[in-house]
Structure 1
Amino acid sequence: MASEPGSGGGELRAPIFGGDKYEFWSIRMKTIFKSHGLWELVEKGIDCSDLKGAGESDEKKKEKEESTGVGKMTVTELLMKDAKALDLI
């Protein structure tokens, strides 16, 4: 059974933007994405060069991670986070 907004205990879902009260909606969206650990992904997006490097050696991947700030996140983790953000929307 899906939980209703404000019922507590359920997963936070993104509210549909109806064209008014943008400030409230944007704060709510940011809060939801932050609570799921996705806000940085929403702000910065996924660099396609990170995805293209899937066949690189571990050493080259480490150098790229350090230079791009991606950290220890793998391509699979990036894609999973992207899918989670889309699911929330």
Structure 2
Amino acid sequence: MAGSRDGELQALIFNGENYKFWSIRMKTIFKSHGLWELVEKGIESSNSKGADEFDAKKKEKEELSGARKMILTEILMKDAKALGLI
């Protein structure tokens, strides 16, 4: 089961049983952190995965300015937070 750490919900590890409960719980956790849309839609990328994708995102981030840079930073932070919850 998920416990609380510093008042935050933690993701459950799926053990192969009770998928319906697990999936509802996971969706609730991601929604409570404002991450569900990211889970459903992901991050658009035309590059390959892994280090190349990270490097491309980093380069793109450096080339952006102002508001677009802040938006990209927020999306990348949400992505990292979602991975951390998993």
> Would the TM-score normalized by the shorter structure come out above 0.5?
yes
One-letter identity of the residue aligned with 2:15: G
1:33, 1:18 → 2: CA distance?
Answer: 19
Higher relative CO (Cα under 8 Å, sequence separation at least 6) belongs to: 1
1:85 and 2:82 are equivalent in the alignment? yes
1:16, 1:80 → 2: CA distance?
Answer: 22
In the TM superposition, what whole-angstrom CA distance separates every residue of 1:31-88 from its partner, at most 9, and x where no partner exists? 0000000000000000015x47532567xx6xxxxxxxxxxx6111111000000111
Report sequence identity in percent.
Answer: 69
Quote the residue 2:17 is aligned against: 20
Quote the residue 1:68 is aligned against: none
Quote the residue 1:65 is aligned against: none
More strand, by proportion: 2
Q: How many residues align?
A: 71
One-letter identity of the residue aligned with 2:18: K
1:10, 1:57 → 2: CA distance?
Answer: 35
Unpaired segments ≥5 residues, structure 1: 62-72
**CA-atom RMSD in angstroms:** 2.6
In our comparison, the structure showing a higher alpha carbon Rg is 1
1:53, 1:86 → 2: CA distance?
Answer: 21
Cα distance change of structure 1 residues 76 and 17 upon mapping to structure 2, 3 Å threshold: same
Quote the residue 1:35 is aligned against: 32
